[in-house]
């Protein structure tokens, strides 16, 4: 059995604490501008000040405070998108895998079509049509996720519906809906939870990419992608404005991927290392 990945767990726990308690632990208002303090370096560099541990951006806003509040936005988007997109994919996967026939053909053709459409382009179109905001961002990322969930869950259901417990449920007279809800659903939840964990990184990267392109949460609300986008203009003279939120994205995505890989080994007996 692989060792518990304590470092990724600690990293994720720190990010969650930042997100939940952002107003309490943030040293400054994340949108307050102090132009006389603009582009101050982190405290360990020459010219840095103790009250701005990670420096300031071009508007004199505290990067640490924006980083803390940005964690809240990123994890909120990740949670909502995974619930929406993952839930739709789970439902479609179970329905297609169990029902078979024309139902499966129609649903899987929709899945194939979803894979062929460029998700980033669709998100940009949504932002232009509906306007920037949390709802638009969640819808866009949910549409990016559901197809991959549906395809994996459908493959799992194709195997499960051949098992004896499903046949016994049919003999007992259980309805199709009951079999899917009471017998199929509990047996795909392990796979679903692993998919959720592994796709957290995908969602965070998608949120950061869309914010970077201007299709995410509108400013001045801090998001990590927006912070990277705002810092690119001064990357040569004030690298910390873009690099620090970029590192936060990297560490969080790497941590959730490592945790998801470990969780997959624990929940899937075929992948367990004895």
Question: What tens digit of pLDDT does each residue of 91-110 get?
Answer: 999 999 988 888 889 998 98
DSSP per-residue string spanning 138-184: HHHHHHHHHHHHHHHHHHHHHHHTTSHHHHHHHHTT--HHHIIIIII
> Is it the case that residue 32 has pLDDT exceeding 80?
yes
What is the residue extent of each domain of the chain? 6-22+62-267
**In the prediction, which pLDDT does 274 show?**
45
Q: Nearest 5 degrees, angle CA 257-CA 260-CA 264?
A: 140
What is the fold of 6-22+62-267? MetI-like fold (1.10.3720)
> Is it the case that residue 270 has pLDDT exceeding 60?
no
Sign of CA dihedral 233, 29, 141, 186: positive
**In the prediction, which pLDDT does 149 show?**
92
**In the prediction, which pLDDT does 122 show?**
76
What are phi and psi for residue 62, nearest 5 degrees? Answer: -70, 120
Q: Omega of the bond prior to 150 within 30 degrees of 0, cis?
A: no
Q: Which two tokens stand for residue 3?
A: 């060792």
**In the prediction, which pLDDT does 273 show?**
47
Per cent of the chain over pLDDT 70 is: 96
Q: Report the mean per-residue pLDDT for the chain.
A: 84
Per cent of the chain over pLDDT 90 is: 15
Contact 69, 30 (CB under 8 A): yes
- Mean pLDDT for the stretch of residues 9-34: 89
**In the prediction, which pLDDT does 268 show?**
59
> Is it the case that residue 128 has pLDDT exceeding 80?
no
Contact 237, 171 (CB under 8 A): no
What's the whole-model pTM score? 0.78
């Amino acid at each position: 059995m692989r060792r518990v990945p304590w470092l990724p767990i600690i990293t994720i726990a720190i990010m969650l604490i930042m997100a939940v308690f952002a107003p309490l632990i943030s040293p400054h208002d994340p949108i307050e501008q102090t132009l006389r303090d603009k582009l101050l370096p982190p405290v360990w560099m020459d010219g840095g000040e103790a009250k701005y541990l990670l420096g300031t951006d071009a508007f004199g806003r505290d990067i640490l405070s924006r980083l803390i509040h940005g964690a809240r936005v990123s994890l909120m988007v990740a949670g909502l998108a995974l619930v929406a997109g993952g839930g739709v994919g789970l439902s479609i996967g179970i329905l297609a895998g169990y029902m078979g026939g024309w139902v499966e053909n129609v649903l899987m053709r929709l899945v194939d079509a979803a894979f062929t459409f460029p998700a980033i382009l669709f998100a940009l179109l949504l932002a232009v049509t509906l306007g920037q905001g949390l709802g638009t961002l969640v819808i866009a990322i949910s549409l990016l996720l559901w197809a991959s969930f549906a395809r994996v869950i459908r493959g799992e259901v194709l195997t499960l519906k051949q098992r004896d417990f499903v046949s016994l449920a049919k003999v007992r007279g259980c309805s199709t809906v009951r079999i899917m809800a009471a017998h199929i659903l509990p047996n795909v939840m392990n796979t679903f939870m692993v998919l959720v964990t592994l796709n957290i990184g995908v969602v965070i990267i998608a949120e950061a990419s869309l914010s970077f392109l201007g299709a995410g949460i509108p400013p001045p609300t801090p998001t990590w992608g927006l912070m990277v986008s705002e810092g690119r203009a001064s990357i040569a003279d004030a690298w910390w404005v873009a690099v620090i939120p970029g590192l936060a994205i990297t560490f969080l995505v790497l941590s959730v991927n490592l945790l998801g890989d470990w969780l997959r080994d624990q929940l899937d007996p075929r992948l367990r290392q004895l």
